[in-house]
Each structure stands twice: as structure tokens, then as C-alpha cells.
Amino acid sequence: MLLQKPFIVLSIVTWVAAGPMVVHESRTAAPAGFVRRGVAPANSMLTLRVALFSNNVSGLEDKLMSLSTPGSSDFRQWLSMDEVKSFVQPSPETVAAFDAFASANGLKPTVISPNGDWVSVTLPVSQANKLFAAQYEIFAHPALTNTITRTLSVSLPAELVGHVDVLHPTTQFLPPRSRLVPTTPGIDLDERTPSSCNSSEPTGVITPNCLQDLYGIPTTPATEKDNVLLVTGYENQFAQNADLAQFLKLFRPDIPSTTTFAVLTTDNGTNPQGPDEAGIEADGDVELTVGIATGVPVQFLSVGGAVSDSDLSMSLVATTTFLDGVRNPPSVMTTSYGDIEVNFGTSMAIKICSGYMALGARGISVVFASGDGGVRGGHDDLSLCNVTDFRPVFPADCPFVTSVGSTQGFGPEIASNFSSGGFSNIFPAPRYQSAAIEAFVKTIPANFEGSFNKTGRGYPDVSTQGWNFDTVFAGETIVVGGTSASSPTFASIIALINDRLLAAGKSTLGFLNPFLYSSGSSGFTDITIGHNAGFTCPASSVAFDAAVGWDPLSGVGTPIFSKLLAAAMDY
């Protein structure tokens, strides 16, 4: 950070003391499940992560829309790391304003991201309370092993308004939960042979072979060595080599069972091996990508987050800032995590979403599971069945990610009841989606009791099978389900299409959505049946119904590999 001259320091001290405070983010209460454990000790140390406003997010957005919209002159001419940095880095005025504030208050900021948009400062709770008109408290949650330090309100001194974008930890409340829901755990399927999608088979269990049949996914190995598919891993979910080898032996006997994935780490992440270390989400995501994207190099990014006040929001930030510093990034990234949008807070959700915008501009297809709680959130919760106010899921509803819902059955495929979808309360509907949303809203009956934001970004964008997937977890073959299975399936298909595009001397798909809602829509089977009331809520609970065209359960539908490839090649 820049050093400030002493006279500036003195003038700022006076200003801080006299200056007005502007409320930056606040909430009336912590979300259900969090319990107050008293005020945070005044002298305990807090590590604040601070996002400084990027200098030209709207310019980056315009550029990304041009790069990703079929027919534009710079279609798929993805930007370099340095080109993206020129939009994302804070302006010199913003850096100077924060440095002046920091030095006036004896703080020593460290830049923690390659684009300079995130800094970290460590200070006592008492000072944080004073500087940001906060009231830090300790909160517990039954699903958290540690307590967390949060405040229900955070303000900025006037001279930081327009310069400081996000402060963490402040009003973010994210309970930890991973996604893959075992449907029938513990069944011994060791004797099974790979099945194909056949509605006459009583179990209807999904394997890579089944998905290859259903969507026409090729088994011929990819040839492009730089076309990497990245799987993100959070919340100490570790991917197991032994489980992958067993999965391949059982379900892809046609490829070497030694086929594996590379491990990357950030924020002190690790990937220990052994049955006790197995993570059901990490295992499932790695098995599906390696098992479906035949021959595509798969990387597993294990994000640590040693700081006790970290949470999913900072893990998502750690992922984008890690990739901001990778010169040759993956071409596809799949993530099976998220939570209801409101738990992130507005500034954090927008900042994370802008991080995906930047990755999209570099040619990375950012793919997310849409969530497993139907219209009422990321996870299933019986107590919410009668709630008519729908709860959108983030990052699935960020307009710069491709979010993937779930289907099940083969004749025809129907949208799963747990497939999350709806409309954001933070992000307006992007232009690429406005016609699709308008057509869907017309299908909703006049007496519809559900309440949702009619101006919001609709999600998911696409869907694939997501129920009754065979996986190997801690040495056991189990059956799992959820949009966590759909996201790696769709990401694998995109990675295989990129392989064929690169082999033909063409550019990779990058940010997908403007293509998916225009010429790419010919590569999908429309899903027209389904009601996403949730996994446990009765079908009578108010929810959306699948419809002809895009709908907020199944998106534009499920992929048809040959048609999607043809549309991708045609420019």
C-alpha cells in the first residue's frame, strides 16, 4: 500500500473524529439457527478483509457481454489476466483514500489479491467497533464447530464511501452445509455392472454410461492437454484417490483406473487421504468429472480458510482471487456449494458475482449447482413448506454463472422436486434472459400464491439428471442425489465440447449464458414437467411448475451433446 505523508495523516484523524458515518450494510437479526453468545471481547483481534471498489466493473460487464454474445465482432476473444486486471484493480484515488484512513488509524493493510481489490487488516474488536460503528458479537450455530464473530450493522466514515465495497466478517451469516444428499446410503453395490439409462430397470441408478447414452456424451478421450476442468472444494471436503480408482473400475472399465486429478490448494488448503478424510461432495464431484469428461485434465482446488471467522463467502472469494493470479486458467469450473442469497449480504454477493464476471471474461465457464431446496432455498427444510416468500440461492443466481438444476427419469425426463430455482432479489434480469423470463411469467396462473421478485435474474440456466447417482465414498458404493451431481455432469459436457473446439482451432466457450439463451438453445431438450416444492414438502406446497421454454426448475433443458457441439462450432 502507498505510504501517506504525515500531514495527511493528521488531517484525516481530525476528519474521522468529526465525520459522519454512513450505514454500509445491516440486518435486523441473525438468520434462524444462529445464537448470540455475548459481545466480542474488546481486546480480541479481528482480521478484516476489505474489498476496495474496482475501477471499471461496468466496463468489464459491457466487454464480457460483447465477448460472449454470438454475432459480435470480438465473440470469444477472451481477455488476458492483465487485461482483466485493468478493469478490476481499484483506482489510485481509492487506494489512496483507504491508505490514508488506515495510516491515520495505525492500521497496516496487506494486499491479498493479485488485482489489488482485496486487502486485509488486523485490529482489536474495540477499534473495529469504533471505526465502523459496529457492535461485534459472538454467534454460535449447531452446525459450526467454532463460534463466529459478526456484527448486525457496519458503517463507513464518509471518506471511505465509494472506495470500500465489502467488509468481512461483518453481516455475513453462512451456516456450513455441503450438498450431495445420500438417497440410499450404505447399499453394497460392489457386484454391480455399469448400467445404462433404461426406465425398465427397477433401480434406475445413474452411472457415467447412462449419461453417455442419454445425452450422447462421447467416450472418445479428449486430446487437448491445456483444457482443464476445475472442481472446487470447500469446508474441509477432501477428494480421495482410492475412491476415484474404485469408481472408475466399477463404472468406467473402458478407461484406466489410474486416471486421476491434480490437487491445487489456496488459503492453506490440504487434501489428506484415507477413508476418514473422505468428503462426500469432493468425492462425488471428482468421480463424476473424471468419469464423464473422458481424458480431460481435472484439477481439484482445495480452499482452506484457516482464519476461524472465515466462511463460504470468503472461500468463494479465495477461489476467484486465486484464479485471478493463474496465467493459464482452467476453461471450466464447477462448484456444488451455495446458500440463500440473503445470508451473504448484498455487497458481498455483488462482489463475489463480479469475481465470476472477471473469470468469464478470461474464458472460464463458471458452473454452479442451483441448490437442493426447491423454491425455498439451498437446502431442504421441512419447516418452510408453507412459506410463500421464495428464497433464491447464491451464487447460483449470479448472472455471470451458469447454474444447473436437476432432472430425473428417462421417459420423459422431469424436473426434480428439490431442484432450486427462482429469481434473485439482488441481481436484475440480464438482457440475455429477459425474453425467456417474460415468456415463463405468462405461464404462471393469476391466483399463484408464491411471492418472488419479477425483475430478478432467473435461475437455473440448464439442467441434467441429478438423482440416484452411483458414487464411491470412503470405500463404499453409495447412491446420492442433488444438483451437486448435475453441476459436474454439465461442466464435464462443456469441457468435452471445449476439447473439440480447441482441436478444431477454435476458441473455448467461456461465459456461456448469452449463447445458451440464443443459438445454443438448439442443443437442449426442453423439460416441461415438474414442480419444485422441495424434497420433503408435499407436492401441494406452492412452487413453480416446469413449462414449455425456459423455466426456473430446469432452465432451457437438458443437453444433447451433438447439437450443442454443432451450435458451439457454428460461428
Ligand X SMILES: *[C@@H]1O[C@H](CO)[C@@H](O)[C@H](O)[C@H]1NC(C)=O
Give catalytic residue positions.
281, 285, 484
What mask, x for binding ligand X by CB under 6 A, covers residues 237 to 276? Answer: ------------------------------xx--------
**Quick one: 157 or 392, whose CB is closer to ligand X?**
392
> Any bridge partners for residue 479, and if so which?
184, 470
Q: According to the binding rule CB under 6 A, does residue 428 interact with ligand X?
A: yes
Q: Within 13 Å and on the Cβ side, how many CA atoms surround 244?
A: 27
Q: How far apart are CA 236 and CA 274, in angstroms?
A: 14
The answer to whether residues 419 and 544 touch, using CB atoms and an 8 Å cutoff, is no
Instruction: Name the residue among 61, 83, 73, 72 with its Cα closest to residue 515.
Output: 72
User: H/E element holding 341?
Assistant: helix 341-344
549 annotated as ligand-binding: yes
526 annotated as ligand-binding: yes
First to last CA, the chain: 45
529 annotated as ligand-binding: no
Question: Near ligand X by CB under 6 A, which window of 124-132, 198-206, 389-397, 561-569?
Answer: 198-206
Q: Please select the residue that binds ligand X; options are 28, 73, 200, 258, rule is CB under 6 A.
A: 200
Residues in the chain: 571
Nearest distance from C-beta of residue 51 to ligand X, angstroms: 16
What mask, x for binding ligand X by CB under 6 A, covers residues 331 to 370? Answer: ----------------------------------------
Total residues in contact with ligand X, by rule CB under 6 A:
29
Question: Near ligand X by CB under 6 A, which window of 58-66, 145-153, 203-211, 432-440?
Answer: 58-66
Q: According to the binding rule CB under 6 A, does residue 383 interact with ligand X?
A: yes
**Quick one: 453 or 507, whose CB is closer to ligand X?**
453
Q: According to the binding rule CB under 6 A, does residue 389 interact with ligand X?
A: no
**Quick one: 332 or 429, whose CB is closer to ligand X?**
429
> Any bridge partners for residue 458, and if so which?
423
DSSP reduced 3-state for 415: strand
Q: According to the binding rule CB under 6 A, does residue 77 interact with ligand X?
A: no
- Please give the single-letter amino acid code of residue 408: Q
The answer to whether residues 51 and 350 touch, using CB atoms and an 8 Å cutoff, is no
Q: According to the binding rule CB under 6 A, does residue 62 interact with ligand X?
A: yes
Nearest distance from C-beta of residue 426 to ligand X, angstroms: 6
**Quick one: 66 or 135, whose CB is closer to ligand X?**
66
Say which residue the cell 468406467 belongs to. Answer: 252
437 annotated as ligand-binding: no
Nearest distance from C-beta of residue 23 to ligand X, angstroms: 16
Q: According to the binding rule CB under 6 A, does residue 198 interact with ligand X?
A: yes
State how far the alpha carbon of 213 is from the alpha carbons of 217, 376, 496, in Å. 7, 33, 15
Residues 292-321 that bind ligand X (CB under 6 A): 304, 306-307
Q: How far apart are CA 335 and CA 285, in angstroms?
A: 9
**Quick one: 135 or 453, whose CB is closer to ligand X?**
453
Q: Which residue is nearest to ligand X (CB)?
A: 59
Pairing type for strands 118-124 and 469-473 reads: unpaired
- 329's CB contacts (< 8 A; 6+ apart) are 228, 323, 359, 362, 363, 364
Instruction: Name the residue among 144, 474, 145 with its Cα closest to residue 277.
Output: 474
**Quick one: 3 or 306, whose CB is closer to ligand X?**
306
The answer to whether residues 255 and 358 touch, using CB atoms and an 8 Å cutoff, is no
The answer to whether residues 117 and 90 touch, using CB atoms and an 8 Å cutoff, is yes
What mask, x for binding ligand X by CB under 6 A, covers residues 535 to 554? Answer: xx-xx---------------
**Quick one: 207 or 521, whose CB is closer to ligand X?**
207
Helices (H), 19-91: 57-68, 81-88
Q: How far apart are CA 436 and CA 235, in angstroms?
A: 35
**Quick one: 181 or 228, whose CB is closer to ligand X?**
181
**Quick one: 260 or 434, whose CB is closer to ligand X?**
434
State how far the alpha carbon of 240 is from the alpha carbons of 31, 184, 283, 468, 487, in Å. 34, 21, 6, 21, 19
Q: According to the binding rule CB under 6 A, does residue 459 interact with ligand X?
A: no
User: C-alpha angle 101/106/109, rounded to 5°?
Assistant: 70
Q: How far apart are CA 12 and CA 7, in angstroms?
A: 9
Nearest distance from C-beta of residue 423 to ligand X, angstroms: 8
Q: How far apart are CA 394 and CA 260, in angstroms?
A: 30
Q: According to the binding rule CB under 6 A, does residue 16 interact with ligand X?
A: no
Q: According to the binding rule CB under 6 A, does residue 41 interact with ligand X?
A: no
Q: According to the binding rule CB under 6 A, does residue 56 interact with ligand X?
A: yes
The answer to whether residues 228 and 508 touch, using CB atoms and an 8 Å cutoff, is no
Q: According to the binding rule CB under 6 A, does residue 223 interact with ligand X?
A: no
Q: How far apart are CA 495 and CA 222, in angstroms?
A: 9
What mask, x for binding ligand X by CB under 6 A, covers residues 177 to 196? Answer: -------------------x
Q: Please select the residue that binds ligand X; options are 193, 273, 455, 522, rule is CB under 6 A.
A: 455
Nearest distance from C-beta of residue 76 to ligand X, angstroms: 17
Nearest distance from C-beta of residue 456 to ligand X, angstroms: 5
Question: Near ligand X by CB under 6 A, which window of 25-33, 98-106, 323-331, 450-458?
Answer: 450-458
Say which residue the cell 425455498 belongs to. Answer: 376
Q: According to the binding rule CB under 6 A, does residue 59 interact with ligand X?
A: yes
**Quick one: 28 or 200, whose CB is closer to ligand X?**
200
Q: According to the binding rule CB under 6 A, does residue 425 interact with ligand X?
A: yes
DSSP reduced 3-state for 525: strand
Question: Near ligand X by CB under 6 A, which window of 55-63, 134-142, 335-343, 362-370?
Answer: 55-63
> Any bridge partners for residue 405, and if so which?
463
Question: Near ligand X by CB under 6 A, which window of 163-171, 322-330, 359-367, 382-390?
Answer: 382-390
DSSP state of 435: H
Q: How far apart are CA 543 and CA 390, in angstroms?
A: 8
Beta strands (DSSP E) in 82-238 are 110-111, 118-124, 137-140, 148-150, 153-157, 164-168, 181-184, 229-233
Helices (H), 260-363: 280-292, 312-324, 341-344, 346-361
Residues annotated in the binding site, as ranges? 526-527, 549, 551
Which positions touch ligand X (CB under 6 A)? 56, 59, 62-63, 196, 198, 200-201, 267-268, 304, 306-307, 382-383, 385-386, 408, 417, 425, 428, 453, 455-456, 467, 535-536, 538-539
Residues annotated in the binding site for Ca(2+), as ranges? 526-527, 549, 551
